[in-house]
Structures are given as structure tokens and as C-alpha cells.
Structure 1
Amino acid sequence: MGDIHEPLPVQLLVAASSRYEEALLWGLRECETEYGPAAAVSPAFDFTETNYYDAEMGVELKKQFWVFEQLVDPGNLPAIKRQTNFLEAEYAGLELHPEPRPLNLDPGYITLAKLVLASTKDHAHRIYIAEGIYAEVTLSYRKGGWQPFEWTYPDYRRDDFQAFFTRCRELLPRVRR
């Protein structure tokens, strides 16, 4: 029988998508108010792998990742997802842009072994964690690099995204139980 212990803290990751630079800046500022200073901010990558969001977010989307200095309890992921959904709705309510959803915020976390994303949608590869929120392991870190799964989103397979995730992974403490 294994010993039960509290999980190690993880590095909070937020994936932000928008066609508006000011929406990304607003989202980062609000997330820093909630979660503390960002430890790393990626470039605003062109998000071209899908047109799934075109109707509600417009075209020529950018995706940017933010990771935060303060490590978090992975058990807080449901509350964080609910908070980022609230921030999305708050920004949309400002009515600064014609799209119904000008900003998308998808939280997750990075550990030495994996990248996890939160979702409000159930699927065969997702596990219910609490408060109407599911989680999936999107990438695993094995053999010196990020490894996708059959369900991994196409953009998370990109070399430039994974290079950023590796940089973030290197910020994590190496002391483990």
C-alpha cells in the first residue's frame, strides 16, 4: 500500500487566444492580479491549426501562453478554470469588439512529467475533477522531449509551443519526493 501525501505544487499555465493584442494584454494583467507575476510569457503565436473558433472569435487568432512564478496546488485547477471563464465573460461584457468571444483563456499546469489542460467538456480521455471541470494530460515529457497523445490538439504538437513548454519546465524546482 502506498502512502497518501499531498501533491507537489505545479506551475500554472494559461493559454490565451484572441485576435486583439489589447485583449491578450488585459487577460495577462487580470491573471497576474489573480495569480501573481508571470514567470514567462510566450510570443503571440499565429493560431492556424483550426477554424473552430472563427464564428465566435473571428479570424487571424493569436495564441499566447503565460506561466506564473507562484506554484499552485493542482487541486485548485477547477477553481482556476471557473475564474478564467469569469474573466472571459467580463472582457466580452466590455463590448470592445464585435465578436461574442474576443478572448479565450484555457488554464492548465506543467510538471516535470506532463502538461495538463482543464476543460468544461467531458470526453473519453478526460477525467472529472470537480465543480463541472475535467482535466486531460495533453502532453507527457519522456525521453528528453514532449510526447503527444492521439487526442493532443494539433497546435500543442508544434515545435515552437513545445520549446516554450520546455523553457517553463526548466523553471520548476528539481527537488522531488
Structure 2
Amino acid sequence: MSTPRTPDPGLLVISVLSADWDGFWPVVGAELEQRFGPFDSSEEFAFDETDYYNDELGAPITRRLIAFDELRPLDELADIKLWTNAVEQRFAADGRRRFNLDPGFLTLQRLVLATGKNFSHRIYLRDGIWADLTLIWQRGHWVDFPWTFPDYAGEAMKTRLTKLRLSYKNKRSKPQT
């Protein structure tokens, strides 16, 4: 018999996509910090593996990957996704989002993203939110799946996530305040 236990908290990571950073980032960055605490942000980097968001967000789209200082309980993922969806809608113009916020949790074993779309490999959480097992850490590197989004399957993203995983590992070894 397995004995249920609360898992270690995860590193909240949010991927932010936009073609118009000046139009929203200072305000939205401050809202993210107010809601989830201080964070580190990557530089902007190209999002060019797909044109899926171009009609809605414009082009060229770039991404920032942000990781929050405070580790969070994994069962907050649905709440976080619902909150980020509300922020996207609040800043929408003419029925179109100006940016896309994709939250997920990084742990030593995996990267799980939140989504509102069902698919065969996704696990339902609640309130229309699903958990997408995007990558797993195995034998010292990230392993992707046939369903992993191309941008997350690329080496540039995996390199960034490896650095965040090391940061997460270091945070776990220090007492949280």
C-alpha cells in the first residue's frame, strides 16, 4: 500500500509570449510580482517554432521565461492558470490577447504546464484546467515526448530549464522564509 504524502513544492515558471512588450510588461510584471512574489526573468528570445499565436498576438513574437523566488505547492496549478487567464482577458484589446501567460511547475523530475485544452496525455485538475506533462528529467537531461510543444523540445529551452532546475535544487536545500 502506498502512503499519501504532500510532495515538495515546485518552482513556478511562467512563459510570457508577446509581440508588444512595451504595451503591457511593466504593469503585468508588477502584477505578477504582487501575486507571486519576486522573480527572475530571462532576456527576450525568439518564439519562431510556430505561427500559432501570430494572428492573435501579432508578429514577431518573443518570449520571456520567468521563475519565482518562492517555491509553491503543486496543487496551486489550476488556481494559477485561472488567474493568468483572467489577467490575459483584462488586458485584451478588440477581443484579442496582447500576451500569453503559460504557467507551470518545474520539479527535479518534470516540467508540467497548465492548459485549458484536453488531450490524451493531459490530466484533468479542475475548473476546466488540465496538467500537461511536457518534459521529464532523466539521466541528466530533459526528455521530451511526441506531444511536447516544439519550442519546449528545443535545446535552447532545455538549456534554460536546466539552469532553472539547478536554481530550484539549490532553493530546496535552503529553508524557505
State if a TM-score over 0.5 links the two structures. Answer: yes
> Matched residues in 1 for 2:26 and 2:108: separation?
28
Name the aligned partner's letter for residue 152 of structure 1.
T
Alpha-carbon deviations, 1:101-132, whole Å to 9, x = none?
Answer: 11100100100011110000000010101121
Q: How many positions carry a matched residue from both structures?
A: 170
Instruction: Note if 1:85 corresponds to 2:85.
Output: yes
Q: CA deviation at 1:56?
A: 1.1
> Matched residues in 2 for 1:43 and 1:99: separation?
28
- Matched-pair identity in %: 35
Q: What residue number does 1:32 align with?
A: 33
> Matched residues in 2 for 1:48 and 1:24: separation?
20
- Give the SS at the match of 1:104: strand
Name the aligned partner's letter for residue 46 of structure 1.
A
Superposition map of 1:86-165 within 5 A: 86-92=86-92, 95=93, 100-165=96-161
**Structure 1 contact 88–101 (Cα < 8 Å) conserved:** yes
Alpha-carbon deviations, 1:152-173, whole Å to 9, x = none?
Answer: 0000012221111111111124
Structure 2 segments unaligned to the other structure (5+ residues): none
Q: CA deviation at 1:76?
A: 0.5
Structure 1 segments unaligned to the other structure (5+ residues): none
Q: CA RMSD in A?
A: 1.5
Q: CA deviation at 1:29?
A: 2.0
> Matched residues in 2 for 1:131 and 1:73: separation?
18
Alpha-carbon deviations, 1:84-108, whole Å to 9, x = none?
Answer: 001111121xx4xx78111100100
Name the aligned partner's letter for residue 29 of structure 1.
A
More displaced 10-residue stretch of structure 1: 77-86 or 50-59: 50-59
- Give the SS at the match of 2:130: strand
Q: What residue number does 2:66 align with?
A: 66
Q: TM-score, normalised by structure 2?
A: 0.90
> Matched residues in 2 for 1:20 and 1:74: separation?
31
Q: TM-score, normalised by structure 1?
A: 0.90
> Matched residues in 1 for 2:148 and 2:35: separation?
28
